[in-house]
């Protein structure tokens, strides 16, 4: 069994200082800054953050999400990604290496949102404005649910129910009525039985239900609940978890986030789940599944998902998959950023902390 992402270093900053001089070992951007002055201003198209201390009210039931909301979308390429920053350094210092990194840097990828963002409203609104200026759609990963990742390499998340409800409302406030794609909480349903008490399980399902309905208040926000991957939880069980999490209000579900399972295997798995939950659509992360998973599976389960060597980038992002139920093959995990230190794995898997740029592995993936 494996997990989804172990990314802990997403920000939406105008990169300054250390990241402009990335070394081969890489660097992680400073948390949460977006290059703007502080304060609750309304310069982002008149958007306003959800106020501190405001009462949490139950969001209305959203309208039915029909068809593929991503058809024809131009997906946003982050000019401040770690891959792009490194490419900008290498293009004069080492053009041959830069040409390899370019295969990652210039591809649309999702932006991860979590407790590293000091002001989530401003971070999201800043990126939405950048994407809108070029006529593209930003893709986000919401990754901040309490008890995140069962205490593993991406452990963390917010402290409790109200803190998360406040946070997700500020995500929605930053998006507003503009186009966006949000993948909701990788690992949250995959790890559901592994580390939560019955009270915590009930809270998690309530929070995911609430988050889906909050985000769907954005008229152009596409929301996908994460459902692990084809080798984690049986389709029948995952379908039940998705129902409890409010998938009926979402556009669908996501598969293979930060994992290596083939697109074909995930397509078959996704179709099984879809048939059990009323024909809901799904998206698949193809960022690192070009060589498929480790075969045969290691005797150490961690080595199947934690920086396995010999993997390759997969199919480029597209919203034209040729599969009626699959809305997109997308790069949800950012290739070249570590899955974690993998301390329980063999040396070939051990890398920098989760989310840190790992140039050696990036080049291996892209060659």
Q: Which residues are catalytic?
A: 149, 187, 339
What residues contact residue 100 under an 8 Å CB cut-off, 6+ apart?
362, 363, 366, 367
Task: Give the whole-angstrom CA distance, residue 43 versus residue 126.
Answer: 10
What residues contact residue 119 under an 8 Å CB cut-off, 6+ apart?
32, 34, 38
β-pairing, 138-142 vs 326-330, is unpaired
How many other CB atoms are there within 10 angstroms of residue 46's CB atom? 7
> Could you tell me which of 39, 248, 56 has the C-alpha nearest to residue 169?
56
β-pairing, 111-113 vs 221-226, is unpaired
β-pair partners for 142:
113, 184
> At residue 346, what are phi and psi to the nearest 5 degrees?
-70, 160
Task: Give the whole-angstrom CA distance, residue 187 versus residue 138.
Answer: 21
Cβ-contact 81, 109 below 8 angstroms: yes
Task: Give the whole-angstrom CA distance, residue 328 versus residue 350.
Answer: 31
How far from 56 is each of 52, 60, 146, CA to CA, in Å?
Answer: 11, 12, 17
Task: Give the whole-angstrom CA distance, residue 49 versus residue 325.
Answer: 35
Task: Give the whole-angstrom CA distance, residue 60 versus residue 210.
Answer: 10
User: Which two three-digit tokens encode residue 308?
Assistant: 């396995």
Task: Give the whole-angstrom CA distance, residue 213 versus residue 90.
Answer: 43
How far from 275 is each of 209, 243, 271, CA to CA, in Å?
Answer: 21, 12, 6
Q: Is the Cα dihedral 173, 175, 181, 185 positive or negative? A: negative
């Amino acid at each position: 069994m494996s997990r989804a992402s172990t990314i802990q270093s997403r920000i939406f900053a105008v990169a300054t200082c250390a990241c402009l001089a990335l070394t081969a070992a890489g660097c992680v951007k400073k948390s949460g800054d977006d290059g703007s002055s502080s304060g609750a201003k309304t310069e982002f198209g008149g958007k306003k953050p959800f106020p501190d201390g405001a009462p949490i009210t139950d969001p209305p039931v959203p309208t039915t999400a029909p068809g593929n909301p991503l058809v024809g979308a131009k997906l946003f390429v982050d000019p401040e990604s770690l891959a792009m920053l490194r490419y900008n350094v290498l293009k004069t210092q080492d053009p041959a290496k830069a040409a390899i990194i370019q295969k990652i840097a210039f591809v649309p990828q999702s932006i991860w949102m979590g407790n590293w963002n000091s002001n989530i409203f401003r971070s999201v609104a800043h990126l939405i404005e950048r994407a809108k200026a070029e006529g593209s759609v930003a893709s986000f990963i919401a990754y901040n649910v309490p008890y995140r990742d069962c205490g593993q390499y991406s452990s963390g998340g917010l402290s409790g129910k109200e803190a998360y409800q406040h946070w997700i409302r500020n995500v929605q406030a930053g998006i507003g009525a503009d186009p966006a794609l949000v993948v909701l909480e990788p690992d949250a349903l995959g790890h559901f039985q592994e580390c939560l008490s019955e009270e915590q399980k009930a809270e998690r399902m309530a929070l995911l239900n609430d988050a889906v309905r909050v985000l769907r208040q954005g008229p152009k926000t596409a929301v996908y609940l994460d459902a692990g991957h084809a080798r984690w939880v049986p389709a029948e069980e995952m379908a039940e978890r998705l129902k409890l999490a409010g998938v009926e209000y979402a556009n669908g579900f996501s598969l293979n986030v930060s994992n290596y399972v083939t697109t074909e295997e995930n397509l078959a798995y996704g179709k099984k789940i879809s048939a059990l939950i009323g024909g809901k659509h799904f998206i698949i992360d193809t960022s690192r599944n070009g060589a498929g998973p480790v075969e045969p599976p290691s005797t150490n389960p961690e080595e199947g998902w934690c920086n396995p060597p010999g993997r390759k980038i997969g199919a480029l992002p597209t919203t034209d998959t040729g599969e009626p139920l699959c809305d997109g093959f997308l790069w949800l995990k950012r290739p070249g950023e570590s899955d974690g230190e993998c301390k329980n794995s063999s040396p070939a898997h051990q890398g920098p902390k989760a989310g840190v740029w790992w140039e050696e592995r990036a080049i291996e993936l892209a060659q």
